[in-house]
A and B are shown apart, each in its own frame.
Chain A
Amino acid sequence: MSSGGNGFFDLPSDLQHSYAGLIGVHLEESLIPVAIGLAVSLPLAQACVRFRWLYPPVLWITTILYAIPSIAFFVFLIDYTGDSATTVIIPLTVYSLVILLPSIVDGVRSVPPETLAAAEAMGFNSFQRYFQVELPMAVPAIFAGLRVATVSSISLVSVGTIIGNQGGLGNLLGDALAYHRSNLAVTSVVSIAVLGVVMDLLLIGLRTLLTPWMPRGRKAARRAGLAAAVEPDGPARAESAARLEGAAK
Chain B
Amino acid sequence: MNIFHFINVFFSDNAHWHGYAGIPHRLEEHLGYTFEALAIAAVIALPIGLITGHTGRGGNALALVATAGRALPSYGLLVLMFFWLGIGLVPVMIPLVALAVPPMLVTSYEAIRTVDPAPVDAARGMGMGPVAVLFQVEVPASLPLILSGFRSAAIQVVSTAAIAATVSLGRYIVDGLYQRNYATVVGGATLIALLALAMVGLIWLVERVVVSPGVRRSN
Is A243 in contact with B148, judged by CB distance below 8 angstroms? yes
**B68 adjacent to A192 (CB under 8 Å):** no
Interface residues of B in 146-197 (CB under 8 A from A): 148-149, 151-152, 155-156, 158-160, 162-163, 170, 173-174, 176-177, 182, 185-186, 188-189, 192-193, 196-197
Contact call A155/B72, Cβ cutoff below 8 A: yes
Contact of A176 with B by CB under 8 A: yes
- Range class of the A interface residue count: 35 or more
A72 adjacent to B106 (CB under 8 Å): no
Tell whether A241 is near chain B: CB-to-CB under 8 Å: yes
Q: Which residues of A contact B149 (CB under 8 A)?
A: 242, 245
- Chain B: minimal CB distance from A105 (Å): 14
> Is B55 interfacial (CB-CB < 8 Å)?
no
A196 and B69 alpha carbons, distance in the complex (Å) = 10
B67 near A151 (CB under 8 angstroms)?
Answer: yes
B-side residues, CB < 8 A to A, are 1, 3, 66-77, 79-80, 82-84, 99, 102-103, 106-107, 110-111, 113-117, 142, 145, 148-149, 151-152, 155-156, 158-160, 162-163, 170, 173-174, 176-177, 182, 185-186, 188-189, 192-193, 196-197, 200
Q: In the bound complex, do residue A69 and residue B79 qualify as a contact, i.e. CB atoms below 8 Å apart? A: no
Query: Would you call A96 an interface residue if the criterion is a C-beta within 8 Å of the partner chain's C-beta atoms?
Result: no
User: Do A72 and B70 touch (CB < 8 A)?
Assistant: no
17 A–B contact pairs at CB < 8 A?
A68-B192, A72-B189, A76-B189, A159-B75, A159-B163, A189-B76, A189-B77, A192-B76, A195-B71, A196-B67, A232-B117, A235-B116, A235-B145, A237-B114, A238-B113, A243-B148, A245-B102
Structural contact, B159 and A67, CB atoms closer than 8 A: yes
| In the bound complex, CA of A2 to CA of B148 (Å) | 50
Our pick among B75, B116, B189 for the contact of A162 (Cβ within 8 Å) is: B75
Closest residue on chain B to residue A198 by CB atoms: B71
**Is there an interface contact between B73 and A158, defined as CB atoms closer than 8 Å?**
yes
Q: A173 near B79 (CB under 8 angstroms)?
A: yes
CB-contact partner of B192 in A72, A79, A196, A245, under 8 A: A72
Q: Which residue of A lies closest to B187 (CB)?
A: A72
- Chain B contacts of A170 at CB under 8 A? 73, 75-76
Residue A152 at the B interface, CB < 8 A? yes
**Residue in chain B with minimal CB distance to A235:** B114
A72 CB contacts on chain B under 8 angstroms: 162, 173, 185-186, 188-189, 192
CA gap between A68 and B155 in the complex, in Å: 10
Interface string of A155-167 (1 = CB under 8 A from B): 1101101110000
B186 neighbours in A (Cβ, 8 Å):
72, 76
Contacts of B160 in A (CB 8 A): 69, 249
The list of the 10 closest CB pairs from A to B, nearest first, reads A196-B71, A72-B189, A234-B114, A67-B196, A182-B83, A245-B103, A246-B152, A248-B70, A69-B162, A189-B76
Complex contact B99–A249 (CB within 8 A): yes
CB-defined contacts of A148 to chain B, threshold 8 Å? 70
Min Cβ gap A153→B in Å is 10
**Would you give the shortest CB distance from A108 to chain B, in whole angstroms?**
18
B192 adjacent to A67 (CB under 8 Å): yes
Q: Please, how many angstroms separate the alpha-carbon atoms of A55 and B82 in the complex?
A: 43
Collect the chain A residues with CB atoms within 8 Å of residue B185's CB.
72, 75-76
What is the total of A-B residue contacts with beta carbons within 8 Å?
185
Does A197 count as interface, using CB distance less than 8 angstroms?
yes
User: Is A186 in contact with B70, judged by CB distance below 8 angstroms?
Assistant: no
Q: Determine if A192 and B73 form an interchain contact, defined as CB atoms under 8 angstroms apart.
A: yes
Query: Chain A nearest CB: distance from B217 CB in Å?
Result: 8
Contact B116 A158 (CB under 8 A): no
When C-beta atoms are compared, the residue in chain B nearest to A246 turns out to be B152
The residue on A at minimum CB distance from B188 is A72
Interface membership of chain A positions 219-249, coded 1 if the CB is closer than 8 angstroms to chain B and 0 otherwise:
0000000000100101101110111011111
Residues of chain B with a CB closer than 8 A to A177's CB: 79, 82
Does A73 reach chain B (CB closer than 8 Å)? yes
- Report the minimal beta-carbon distance from A110 to chain B, rounded to whole angstroms: 14
A148 CA to B71 CA, complexed, in Å: 9
A71 CB within 8 Å of chain B:
yes
A193 at the interface (CB under 8 A from B): yes
Q: Say yes or no for A63: interface residue by CB 8 A criterion.
A: yes
Q: Are A245 and B73 in contact (CB under 8 A)?
A: no
Complex Cα spacing A243 to B102, Å:
13
A91 to chain B, nearest CB (A): 11
Contact A75 to B67, CB < 8 A, known contacts A189-B76, A238-B145: no
